[in-house]
Amino acid sequence: MAADSVPPKGLQVFPQRFKENAVLLGTFVKTPTIHAVEILGHVGYDFVVIDEEHAPIDRTDTDVILLACRASGVAGLVRVSSHSATDILRALDAGAAGVLVPHVNSVARAREVVAAGRYRPGSRGFSNSPRAGDYGGTGIWDHVEAQDTSTLVIAMIEDKEALDEIEEIVSVPGIDGVFIGRGDLTVSLDAESPASPEVKDAVARIIKACRSAGTSICLMVGSAEEAAVFESQGVTSFIISSDQGFMRMGAARARNEFAEKMKNVI
C-alpha cells in the first residue's frame, strides 16, 4: 500500500484493540451525511457504526461516510441490513473496519457470515479495486492478507433462538466479537423491558459464553454508570446513543434551559 494511502494510525490499530478487549466508545450514525462523523472523530470517539439496517443509509452514503471516518481518524463499522454475503462484501470493499451482522441466531449462520467476511478460509468475493484495496494499489495477496487480519466480523445476538446455541455461536472461528442487542432480545422474549429478569438472564448468559470463548463483547448503554457495571462483567466496547440521539438530547436540553430562564418561551 502506498505511504500516502495508509489510514491514520488509530484506524490501523482499532481492530487489534477491539480483539484485545481495550475499552472503546462509539455511537451509531443514522444520518446520511459526513458532518456527524467528523464531529465524533474530532471529539475523540473510537468508532462509529454506520446503520444500514435501521436508517436511510444506502451503499453510496456508506462509501462517503467511510471516507469521512478515515479523514477524521475514527474507525467506521457498518451495521449491514442483512446477513447476506452481498451486504457484507459491499461494506468491507468500501473500507469498513468491520461489520455488525444482524440476527446471527445459529451456528450455521455464524459460519456463513464469517465465510462472507473472509477470503481464506472463506468465500468473500475478491476485488482489490475498491477503497479497501487502495483502488488497485495493493497486490492480490497483500490485499487478502490485510483484509483477513484487520477487518472485524461482529455477530449481533438478538434472538431467543440464538440462546439455544450461544456457547457454540460465539466460539465459531472468525467471529471476532458479539454485539448484544437488548432491544431485539426484549421483543423476541416477549418481555416487558430490557430490565426484565428474562432479558437480564439472557444477557448474563451471552456474556458468560463470550468470556469463556475469549470473544469480545459490545453493548449499547444508556449511561456511564450502566457501562461501568457491564465493564466489571467483561463488556469492553460500548455504543452510546446515536448522532440523532445526541442532537435530540442537546436540542432538548438547550430548549429546556431557555424555557426555565425566559418567561415567554412556551
pLDDT digits (tens, 9 = 90+) for 78-100: 999 999 999 999 999 999 999 99
Alpha-carbon distance values, 209 to 56, 94, 171, 184, 189 (Å): 34, 32, 8, 19, 19
pLDDT in tens, 34-68: 999 999 999 999 999 999 999 999 999 999 999 99
Are the beta carbons of 166 and 206 closer than 8 angstroms? yes
And the C-alpha cell for 2?
502506498
66 in a domain, yes or no? yes
Cα 247 from chain centroid (whole Å): 20
111 in a domain, yes or no? yes
pLDDT score at 65: 98
CA distance 22 to 171: 20
Low-confidence residues in the chain, pLDDT < 50: 1-7, 9
pLDDT score at 266: 66
What burial class does residue 135 get, using C-beta atoms within 10 Å of its C-beta: 0-12 exposed, 13-18 middle, 19+ buried?
exposed
Q: Residue 157 maps to which CATH number?
A: 3.20.20.60
| Residue 234, φ and ψ in degrees, nearest 5 | 115, 0
102 in a domain, yes or no? yes
Active site (catalytic) residues = 54
pLDDT score at 263: 76
pLDDT score at 4: 42
Alpha-carbon distance values, 75 to 13, 45, 112 (Å): 9, 9, 24
266 in a domain, yes or no? no
pTM for the structure as a whole: 0.92
Enclosing domain of residue 102 = 3-261
235 in a domain, yes or no? yes
24 in a domain, yes or no? yes
Number of domains present in the structure of the chain: 1
